[in-house]
């Protein structure tokens, strides 16, 4: 759980909204802890800070995983937990930047007219097939309720 590692001296490039489109502007930010200076000076406070950030991030990610099967914005909450971890841990910053880059690339690919047209055609074909199968089933067997109600 140590954020004070070799990755802290490396400089990572943060992709801005303009650079995703092709602009060459980018801001540079060092990897590592963003804790206040007085916390970074004391090893005891730094360890407590890291444990606290880890526990809060883990709780948020756990809630996000639960929301994957329960109602709620599961993936959004999971990425929020990763963002909490990224305030303290260099490895989480690297993972979060990689995820942002992949999501941006996927969004750009999804906006391609050929891909959109293919997805619309596949979705329409799937809905037609499902509707036809449901119609055949209802025609052959009718609507059968799973319980028996005698009036």
> What's the pLDDT at 35?
67
Helical spans, DSSP H, in the chain:
17-21, 37-41, 43-69, 74-86, 90-110, 113-141
Q: Can you say how many angstroms the Cα of residue 10 is from the centroid of all Cα atoms in its chain?
A: 25
- How far apart CA 99 and CA 79 sit, in angstroms, is 9
pTM of the model: 0.51
Q: How many degrees, rounded to 5, is the angle at CA 36 between CA 30 and CA 40?
A: 80
CA pair distance 136, 117, nearest whole angstrom: 29
What is the predicted pLDDT for the residue at 122? 96
C-alpha span between 28 and 83 (Å, rounded) = 18
Give the pLDDT score at 26.
46
Task: Give the per-residue pLDDT at 32.
Answer: 63
What local confidence, expressed as pLDDT, does residue 47 receive?
Answer: 82
Bridge partners of 13, per DSSP, are 28
Residue 64 CB neighbours (<10 A): 20
Per-residue pLDDT of the chain (151 residues; tens, 9 = 90+): 454 544 444 544 554 444 444 443 344 466 666 666 777 777 778 888 888 889 999 999 999 999 999 888 888 899 899 888 888 888 888 888 898 899 889 888 888 888 889 989 999 999 999 999 999 999 888 887 767 766 5
Can you tell me the distance from the alpha carbon of 104 to that of 147, in angstroms, rounded to the nearest whole number? 49
| pLDDT at site 74 | 84
- Tokens read off for 3: 């954020």
pLDDT of residue 25: 39
Nearest residue to 60 (alpha-carbon basis) of 35, 80, 40: 80
């Amino acid at each position: 759980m140590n954020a004070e590692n070799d990755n802290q001296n490396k400089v990572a490039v943060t992709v801005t909204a303009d650079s995703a489109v092709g602009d060459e502007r980018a801001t540079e930010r060092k990897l590592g802890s963003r804790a206040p200076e007085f916390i970074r000076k004391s090893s005891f406070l730094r360890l407590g800070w890291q444990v606290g950030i880890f526990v809060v991030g883990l709780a948020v990610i756990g809630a996000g995983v639960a929301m994957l099967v329960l109602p709620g914005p599961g993936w959004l909450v999971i990425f929020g937990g990763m963002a909490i971890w990224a305030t303290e841990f260099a490895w989480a910053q690297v993972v979060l930047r990689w995820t942002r880059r992949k999501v941006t690339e996927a969004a750009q690919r999804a906006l391609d007219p050929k891909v959109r047209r293919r997805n619309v055609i596949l979705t329409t074909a799937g809905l037609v097939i499902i509707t036809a199968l449901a119609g055949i089933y209802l025609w052959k067997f009718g609507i059968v309720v799973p319980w028996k109600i005698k009036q």
